[in-house]
Every structure is written in structure tokens, then in C-alpha cells.
Amino acid sequence: MSVHPELLIRGGTVVDATGERRADVRVVDGVVVDVAEGLEAPPQGTVLDAGGCLVAPGLVDLHTHLREPGREEAETIESGTRAAALGGFTAVVAMPNTDPPLDSAESVRNVFALAEGAMAQVAVAGAITVGRSGERLAPMAELAALGVHLFTDDGDGVQSAGLMRRALQYATGLGVVLGQHCEDRSLADGGSMHEGAWSSRLGLPGMPSEAEEVMVARDIALARATGGRVHFLHLSTAGSIDLVRRARADGVPVTAEVAPHHFTLTDRYVAGYDPVFKVNPPLRPQEDVDAVKAALADGTADAIATDHAPHAPELKDLPFDQAPPGMLGLQTALALAVTELDLPPARLLALLSWQPAAIAGLDPVHGGDQGGPVAPGAVANLCVVDPMATWTVDPTALASRSRNTPYAGRTLTGRVRHTVLAGEPVVIDAEAQR
């Protein structure tokens, strides 16, 4: 930060939860000091041009697989947070399915230590159960004391309804949120794509929509009964969306995220058997894609979360049914939202920044520095987005250690121009600064 004591973001439109206005943003020592039109350039310091751009709180990803520790050939905290910064994210929630899993204070402290100096804030989602094995509760209070706000066994759903109920009861006393990867294993096990017309034709074992939906329905009932907060990860079916919509109308304390690939790709992309299109939950038919878009439009979905899941190339060269599921997402999420969703910029940024920040407990309300209004006194976690710029996705140009983007060669509209992390311009003109 010392090299960037002062920063002026000039000529843009500031967009945050309070609204939109034409304003320059002046940052001193990592803190926003002035938001107004026609600010003077600092005699010493950096000026970032934001002409034609939106200046917003930094994006917050609720769902990032950083792979470190354990799978550093696929991604590290360093490479993953560089990808995050290039994608406009100033904070990511690291998923706990690492090796070892993030189910103890020691493993969480280790990630925090590894993330010091990273190009984005790394928050940690703790495991709900020890070893993510679904058998007994992880020490949630110990993890909460370290600042863990979201807990999940992501990669797996908590199969036992009894254990999930107990976890929710316990969570109410801690004020934390339980994220559920909704997948009933008895229905989905062995499946490698959505079960339907395409899986039948391609001869691939399928994962039916109801594998997700029965767990959504179950957890709504459990949230209603316990008052525990459930956050649904990467919802992908029309039925799930419908269940959540009705639960929220009833006042049940649930939130939901959706992933960009679930509003941009359908299961027909699997027809060439390329495992780059294998993901869990799987790509679904068009009617589900439409339902996911509708959920974003009507507020049933609170957040767009990337489910950034890097995999080494040799794993994605396996036969489709043997390859691991997952897609890169950090550097394409915002552009896919701009390109594919017919929503005003302020809505898109709400879904990518302040709403997920609140769910993750990283917003000012929870004592954090993410997603808050761009106003004097706020820590300068910001992104500057050019909503009109077009660019073509080149897998080899991505910052991730892996290449498994399903959007190779696609031209997208909307580009992150600058990212500012606690006052430091970590990305300038779409180039990482370190």
C-alpha cells in the first residue's frame, strides 16, 4: 500500500447499494476519502481512468475452490486470487474440500496464513462435518471464533437429515450460515450429467433433477423448524428455484446462489463428451436455465457465485464419466452476467458484490470491508467495470493454473478494467499488477 499512498478513480459512475451517481473516487492509505465529481488528481499517486465505466464495491465470490492445500497443481491461493482480482473480485470464500479439509482451527489458520498478501481477501468456509464425511459435526464454534461465517460440506451434501437438523440447531447459537450442496446421493450416485434426453441418448449415467430438489425441500423444512440459516449453493433446477421462492415467501430463513454456467449452458453441450462441460450440479436443459435466469431477475437468487473449480488438464482428458466435475469461473463470471442476463448493471453488481458479501458475513454490517457503499471512510475494495467492452475468452491467457473453462473462444461483453484491493490497484487496464 505504501507504493500507492493515493489513488484517484476518475470519470466513472459509482454504483453501490445506495444507488448510482457520476463521481470520482479518491483513496488515501487504502481508505475512500472523497466521492464527488471533478476531484483534483493527486500530485503524487495513481490516476485510474474510469471513463464509461462503473465503479463499484469489489465483487465477492461465495464459492471458490482454491485447491490449496492439496491440489496445488490445479490452483494455488496465489494463482486463484490473481484470477479473482482479474475477475473484479476483492474477496472469495474458499471452499473447504481441500486436502486436508478445512474442518479444524489448525487447517483454517493455515489457509489464512497462506493467503497473507494474496490478491484478494480469502475468507474460509468451514466444513459442517469432520472430514466432510457427514458423520459428526466439525468444531463449528472454534472455527466461528476465527471468523468463519459460512459452513458447508460442498462437493457433498449432508446426507443425514438428522445430522443436518442438529447442525442447524447448533448454528443458531453461533449466528453462522450453513451452505448446502444439495445432492441426494442415493438418487445421484454414479451420475455424470443431468439425467434426461441427452444422457439417455449419450449413454451416460444421469443425475436427476430430483436429486437436488429433495434435499432443497428437506432443508427448507429443517430451516423452518430450527430457525437455522441455510444458504443453498449453486441451485440448478426449476424445481429447486420454485421451492426456494415459496419458502422465502413464507419467511423461511434461506438464501440461494446460482452459478454462471447454469444460466449460460445446457446439457446439450455434453454431446461431444468433452469433460470441460462436466460440472456438479450438472448442466441442465433450457427450461432450467430459464428458471435460473428468472430467479436472478425476481430476487429468488441472492447471488451469482462462480463455483470456480480448477482441474489439471490430465484429469479433464479422462473419459467423461471418470473426469472430475468442475469449471473455471472467476475471470468470466461478470462478463457472462453482463452478456447473458437482461438486468440493469446495478442489479448485476448487487448479485455479484453486496448481496454475497452479506451472506458471507464480509459486509460492514458484520464488521467486514466488502460490498459496502463507496463512501468516505470505507476501505477501498473496488472494481471498475467497462460494461461495453468485448473480449474473447482464451484459456491459455487465464491466470488460473488450470485451463478448464467451457467458454474458450466465446466473445463476451463486459470487462473488469481495474480492481482495487484495500487501496492497492491490483489490476489496471485488465492487467494484474503483481
Instruction: Please report how close the Cβ of residue 394 comes to other proteins at its closest, in angstroms.
Output: 20
The 3-state DSSP composition of the chain as helix, strand, coil percent (nearest 5) reads: 35, 25, 40
Residue tagged 455424470 (cell numbers): 192
Instruction: Please report how close the Cβ of residue 274 comes to other proteins at its closest, in angstroms.
Output: 7
Which residues here bind other proteins, judged by CB under 8 A?
195-197, 199-206, 208, 272-274, 314, 317-322
307 is catalytic: yes
| Angle separating helix axes 209-226 and 238-249, nearest 10 degrees | 20
- Closer residue to other proteins in complex, CB, 206/372: 206
Long-range CB contacts for residues 201-208, cutoff 8 Å, separation at least 24: 202/270, 202/271, 202/273, 204/270, 204/320, 204/321, 205/321, 207/183, 207/280, 207/281, 207/282
Instruction: Please report how close the Cβ of residue 187 comes to other proteins at its closest, in angstroms.
Output: 12
Terminal-to-terminal C-alpha distance of the chain: 13
- Closer residue to other proteins in complex, CB, 248/268: 268
Q: How many CA atoms lie within 13 A of 60 on its CB side?
A: 28
Of the candidates 154, 156, 288, 307, the residue annotated as catalytic is 307
Instruction: Please report how close the Cβ of residue 311 comes to other proteins at its closest, in angstroms.
Output: 13
- Closer residue to other proteins in complex, CB, 56/188: 188
- Closer residue to other proteins in complex, CB, 7/204: 204
- Closer residue to other proteins in complex, CB, 100/196: 196
Instruction: Please report how close the Cβ of residue 430 comes to other proteins at its closest, in angstroms.
Output: 32
Q: How many CA atoms lie within 13 A of 388 on its CB side?
A: 4
**What does the alpha-carbon distance between residue 239 and residue 213 come to, in Å, rounded to a whole number?**
6
- Closer residue to other proteins in complex, CB, 44/186: 186
Look at strands 89-94 and 121-126 and give their pairing: parallel
* Residue 228 one-letter amino acid: G
Cis peptide preceding 42, ω within 30 of 0: no
**What does the alpha-carbon distance between residue 411 and residue 72 come to, in Å, rounded to a whole number?**
29
Q: Are 90 and 419 in contact (CB under 8 A)?
A: yes
Instruction: Please report how close the Cβ of residue 407 comes to other proteins at its closest, in angstroms.
Output: 19
A 10 A CB-CB count for 123 gives 26
**Phi, psi (rounded to 5 degrees) for 16:** -150, -170
Residues annotated as part of the active site: 307
